[in-house]
Amino acid sequence: AQSVTQPDIHITVSEGASLELRCNYSYGATPYLFWYVQSPGQGLQLLLKYFSGDTLVQGIKGFEAEFKRSQSSFNLRKPSVHWSDAAEYFCAVGGYTGNQFYFGTGTSLTVIP
């Protein structure tokens, strides 16, 4: 069965430091991959997506993610974190069955000054 794993439940970084959030998926073929961000009490906002082609994708708010087939990973990165980046981040995969998305359990990001 398809699944998404986000190994880090919670991450704390200092403002200005770099960030990497991990995501691993299980699927036999190349899935459609997404990263979403959710602020408290809000819905999910799409940061970026990968379908095919260049394995390094750029998203909004200075985020990027790299698809690594050999590691079944799609890690999210940002070179310099801002205090406003504090939120919950979800990795999702889709395209297996119809239009279903499967979300990971999320990584909560805290940014300290």
Binding site for another protein (CB under 8 A): 4, 32, 34, 36, 41-46, 49, 51, 90, 92, 94-95, 97-106
For another protein, give the closer residue by CB, 41 or 113: 41
CB of 93 to another protein, least distance (A): 10
Q: Which positions ≥6 away from 2 have C-beta within 8 Å?
A: 25, 26, 27, 31, 93, 96, 102
Give me the amino acid identity at 66. Answer: E
In angstroms, give the least distance from the CB of 46 to another protein.
5
CB closer to another protein, 27 vs 103: 103
Cβ 89 vs Cβ 37: under 8 Å: yes
Please, which residue, 35 or 81, has the CB nearer to another protein? 35
